[in-house]
Amino acid sequence: MTATSTVMAASARLVSRLALVTGGGSGIGRAVCRRLAAEGASVVVADVNQEAANETLHGLSRDRRGQGHMAAGVDVASRHSVRSLVTGIQCRYFQPPSVCVSAAGITQDAFLVRMEEEHFDKVIQVNLKGSFLVVQAVAEALVICGAPKGSIITVGSIVGKVGNIGQANYASSKAGVQGLTRAAAKELSRFGIRCNCVLPGFISTPMTEKVPEKVIGKMTSLVPVGRMGEPAEVADVCAFLASDDSAYITGASVEVTGGLFIG
Ligand code: NAP
């Protein structure tokens, strides 16, 4: 296969697939929406910030099957909101999403001894419980409709594996996301649904804009590749995991870190 035909094959991998991306209004989620749309998927851009979701929607390439993309507001921490979203998708497209990327997430950093209980709970609610609610609703819809296959991708973090100063809540939530994904992979394989988790390192997004420059400089110096990652580089991996090119991969955690914390 030539380089050109490889690119063309890759760019058509998701034609006729319907994809739901939470956190699609910003950063990694927005890049994932763009990449999945560029590969031919119809994309539902979902975010708590509906205006941001609409902005992402307007920047997407046209989908080739004519089903169209859509934007929707959702609070992933609310069961009612997630259920309404999935029902709304099924009403519009007459099918559940066969690709789901759960990228919505937040940070509320503080040193462990000073961390407010409510900040711990909030991060767990959005990052961990939110992932659970989204994975559960999409998996249930796929199983009920007898879909032949599905690919669910959660967004964890390398911090869930190695910990990080000031992020006891975030690290706990992201370690939980990895465990959730592995359990889901074991339960859902028999329905043709694969579940994988991406573990980004330090990626340039509005989330990391909040981190003091001094800390960013220190972290970047630890990255063997020598720079922060781009959201599109995480989206590349999500597109691979969404596609049949990863048909024999489930329950995996894929680090997208530029080599940070190897081993
Ligand atoms: P981001 O730019 O802040 O994007 C996150 C999006 O999720 C925002 O649009 C945010 O809306 C939305 N969101 C927050 N709470 C939500 C809720 N309850 N329901 C639905 N949407 C909600 O952050 P990002 O860096 O792209 O992060 C995307 C994912 O990657 C997160 O899960 C994050 O933990 C993970 N991650 C990021 C990095 C990194 O270095 N950037 C590293 C590892 C993992 P608001 O802006 O209105 O809050």
- How many angstroms is it from 147 CA to the middle of ligand 1? 29
Ligand 1 neighbours, Cβ below 6 Å, are: 22-23, 25-29, 47-49, 52, 74-77, 103-106, 126, 130, 155, 157, 200, 202-203, 205-208
Confidence bin at 211 (pLDDT 50/70/90): confident
Q: Which residues of 131-144 are buried (b: 16+ CB within 10 A; e: fewer)?
A: bbbbbbbbbebbbe
The residue whose CB lies within 8 Å of the most ligand 1 atoms, and thus the one to mutate among 121, 177, 205, is: 205
Report the pLDDT value the prediction gives residue 1, as an integer from 0 to 100. 42
Report the pLDDT value the prediction gives residue 9, as an integer from 0 to 100. 53
Q: Which residue has the higher pLDDT, 135 or 214?
A: 135
What are the sequence ranges of the domains in the chain? 11-255
The span from the CA of 175 to the CA of 180, in Å, is 9
Out of 120, 132, 170, 240, the active site residue is 170
Q: How far apart are the first and last CA of the chain?
A: 34
Residue 186 pLDDT more than 60?
A: yes
The span from the CA of 134 to the CA of 138, in Å, is 6
Residue 249 pLDDT more than 90?
A: yes
Q: Collapsing DSSP states into helix, strand and coil, what is residue 20? A: strand
Residues 6+ apart with CB under 8 A from 237: 198, 254, 256
Fold exhibited by the domain 11-255: Rossmann fold (3.40.50)
Residue 207 pLDDT more than 80?
A: yes
Confidence bin at 52 (pLDDT 50/70/90): very high
Report the pLDDT value the prediction gives residue 11, as an integer from 0 to 100. 80
Report the pLDDT value the prediction gives residue 247, as an integer from 0 to 100. 98
Nearest atom (ligand 1) to Cα of 206: 2
